[in-house]
Amino acid sequence: MHRHQSRIRRRRRRLPQGTTVTDLRMMRRALELARSAAAAGEIPVGAVVYRDGNVLGEAANNREASTDPTGHAEVVAMRQAGERLGSWRLIGCSIAVTLEPCSMCAGALVNARMARIVFGASDPKAGACGSLMNVPQDTRLNHRCPVVGGVLRGPCAQALRAFFRRRRAERRAATASG
């Protein structure tokens, strides 16, 4: 009993400030979506749009299958949520996404009036929620959106690392046999 409680406390300490139990549940779902995308040959990023604990849209990056340059998980999940709500304004909604949104997605999230952005791993090469720029908090824009980063960052980053490692190995094997 005592040991179990201290384990829970330790886990809580690792969660970034502002993370809710619902955020954590939605990030776990986003991670599942990311992993299944990897199995389909897509870069593994998953996203879930939710409000009041209900999922309104969920998707993984599908750029390869859809041949859509905007087919990032956040955009696809937001489209579903808009349809579901009958409005492009995603008022009161949060998004959990396994990787820090890029400039395109951060821009779309601000345009959608998203209430909160929760992301997993940081993206030092393309992240637009604090890494390269900080679109959701830019005071020049007409809407600002609080960001919580680093939720389940370990497993989120690991899914990406494993994907790229496997792809490199497959390409090496193809070159060797080709």
102 binds Zn ion (CB under 5 A): yes
Binding residue for Zn ion, selected from 105, 110, 148, 159, defined by CB under 5 A? 105
CB of 175 to Zn ion, least distance (A): 30
Alpha-carbon distances, residue 83 vs 43, 71, 77, 117, 142 (angstroms): 25, 16, 10, 20, 23
Contact map string, positions 48 to 77, toward Zn ion, x by CB under 5 A? ------------------------x-----
Closest to Zn ion by CB, 104 or 157? 104
140 backbone dihedrals φ, ψ, rounded to 5°: -75, -20
Residue 108 interacting with Zn ion (CB under 5 A): no
> Is-contact 78 101, C-beta < 8 A?
no
Q: From the CB of 1, what's the least distance to Zn ion, in Å?
A: 44
In the residue annotation, 74 being an active-site residue is answered as yes
Window 110-149: residues binding Zn ion (CB under 5 A)? none
**Catalytic residue ranges:** 74
